[in-house]
């Protein structure tokens, strides 16, 4: 294992500290360094809070700022933040208009955010709603267990809900807007090389020179299947056709197309995939009216990509287009 780090145990903390050092015009540590928050909160708006394990940077801390998140909590690598961390973010960010928690659908995250919400609500002083993002179509809807995972599509939900919160919408409206964004969003990922967890010094799965892992999540878990490596057009068609099947859009449907790097994939390759995916959807009668390409939701150093599609209507488009000023997204 080779990483730019001081120590396997300190990577998450050192990385978060470096992030705050780089962006202290936008963000600051919360009390006790339990979370990272906007430097200046907007009075009167609903607080939007997200979080998850470390190793997904810039998700979620890179999305803190005007038009997106108010605070984010980061746990150890691939490990949920504790209820105590989440509670501290709720207490610091809530200024009376309530709190919307955005949670990726993983057992640990869901449990700890739920626990924190209960602790905060039981004091009687916080109104809280929760959105569970489950955009990953690599997991069957009908599967036993917890259902589909939340992956890169969480960025889309956070952007859209964050814009609506900034526009002054109330907690109930934000919950509904978030549910609409989740219902409109699907993601699938492929890896050419697994992630190496610093503490174990091993890749979480090891691929042969001619293999790829299809349907990967972002916590190093194996994907849905291991297949022979294919060219970019074949991989794109495989992912995009499954997304299409799942979303079943109408003809001329407008979409947001988001190609995400999983950490070890260079921009040159992300652009190859974007070009192919855009053409794929346009040839099938969809209108790629909004796009995003970059490394936003990572799985440490995993060499891989994911493709996310969100079906856009006028309301979601306006919210996507609204100004955002964070470390990772800015327009």
Site for a copy of itself in 11-70 (CB under 8 A): 11-12, 14-19, 21-23, 54-55, 57-58, 62
- Least separation in angstroms between CB 283 and a copy of itself: 13
Choose which of 291, 315, 321, 323 interacts with a copy of itself (CB under 8 A): 291
Q: What is the DSSP string of 94-140?
A: --SS-EEEEEES-HHHHHHHHHHHHHHHHTTS--EEEEEE--BTTS-
Quick note: the x/- pattern for a copy of itself over 140-179, rule CB under 8 A, is: ----------------------------------------
Please give the structure tokens belonging to residue 67. Answer: 């038009």
Spatial contact of 53 and 80, defined as CB atoms under 8 Å apart: yes
Q: Residue 330, interface with a copy of itself (CB under 8 A)? A: yes
Cα–Cα distance for residue pair 172/321, rounded to 1 Å: 22
Please give the structure tokens belonging to residue 220. Answer: 């190093």
Spatial contact of 277 and 309, defined as CB atoms under 8 Å apart: no
Q: Residue 276, interface with a copy of itself (CB under 8 A)? A: yes
Q: Is 76 a catalytic residue?
A: no
- Least separation in angstroms between CB 4 and a copy of itself: 4
Q: Is 219 a catalytic residue?
A: yes
Cα–Cα distance for residue pair 288/190, rounded to 1 Å: 22
Interface size with a copy of itself, residues (CB under 8 A): 58
**25 CA to centre of own chain:** 23
Helix spans in the chain (H) = 11-22, 83-93, 107-122, 153-166, 171-183, 232-247, 267-283, 314-321
CA end-to-end distance (rounded Å), the chain:
37
Q: What is the DSSP string of 214-254?
A: ES--SSS---SEEEE---HHHHHHHHHHHHHHHH-PPTT-E
Choose which of 121, 232, 237, 287 interacts with a copy of itself (CB under 8 A): 232
- Least separation in angstroms between CB 306 and a copy of itself: 12
Give 19 or 113: the residue with its C-beta nearer to a copy of itself: 19
Choose which of 43, 209, 251, 252 interacts with a copy of itself (CB under 8 A): 209
Give 231 or 245: the residue with its C-beta nearer to a copy of itself: 231
Cα–Cα distance for residue pair 9/109, rounded to 1 Å: 20
Choose which of 238, 244, 270, 318 interacts with a copy of itself (CB under 8 A): 270
Q: Residue 273, interface with a copy of itself (CB under 8 A)? A: yes
Give 94 or 213: the residue with its C-beta nearer to a copy of itself: 213
Choose which of 212, 218, 240, 307 interacts with a copy of itself (CB under 8 A): 212
Question: Which sequence positions are flagged as catalytic?
Answer: 56, 219
Task: Summarize as ranges the residues that interact with a copy of itself (CB under 8 A).
Answer: 2-7, 11-12, 14-19, 21-23, 54-55, 57-58, 62, 192-193, 209, 212, 229, 231-233, 235, 259, 263-276, 278-279, 291, 293, 295, 298, 300-301, 303, 305, 330-331
């Amino acid at each position: 294992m080779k990483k730019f780090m001081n120590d396997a145990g300190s990577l998450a903390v050192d990385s978060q500290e470096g992030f705050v050092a780089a962006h202290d015009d936008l963000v600051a540590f919360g009390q006790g360094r339990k979370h990272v928050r906007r430097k200046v909160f907007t009075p009167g708006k609903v607080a939007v809070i997200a979080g998850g394990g470390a190793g997904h940077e810039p998700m979620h801390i890179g999305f803190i700022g005007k038009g997106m998140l108010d605070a984010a909590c980061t746990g150890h690598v691939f490990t949920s933040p504790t209820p105590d961390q989440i509670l501290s973010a709720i207490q610091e960010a809530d200024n009376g208009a309530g709190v919307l928690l955005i949670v990726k659908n993983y057992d640990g995250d869901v449990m700890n955010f739920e626990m924190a919400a209960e602790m905060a609500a039981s004091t009687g002083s916080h109104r809280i709603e929760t959105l569970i993002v489950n955009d990953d179509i690599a997991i069957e809807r009908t599967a036993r267990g917890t259902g589909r995972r939340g992956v890169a599509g969480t960025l889309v939900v956070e952007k859209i809900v964050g814009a609506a919160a900034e526009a002054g919408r109330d907690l109930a409206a934000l919950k509904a807007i978030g549910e609409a964004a989740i219902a409109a969003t699907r993601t699938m990922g492929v890896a050419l090389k697994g992630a190496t967890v610093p503490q174990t010094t091993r890749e979480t799965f090891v691929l042969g020179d001619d293999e790829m892992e299809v349907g990967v999540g972002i916590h190093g878990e194996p994907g849905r299947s291991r297949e022979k490596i294919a060219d970019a057009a074949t991989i794109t068609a495989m992912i995009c056709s499954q997304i299409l099947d799942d979303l079943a859009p109408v003809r001329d449907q407008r979409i947001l197309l988001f190609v995400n790097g999983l950490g070890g994939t260079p921009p040159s390759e992300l652009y190859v995939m974007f070009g192919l995916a855009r053409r794929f959807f346009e040839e099938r009668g969809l209108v790629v009216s909004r796009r995003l390409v970059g490394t936003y939701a990572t799985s440490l150093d995993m060499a891989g990509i994911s493709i996310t599609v969100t079906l856009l209507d006028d309301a979601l488009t306006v919210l996507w287009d609204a100004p955002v000023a964070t470390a990772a997204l800015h327009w």
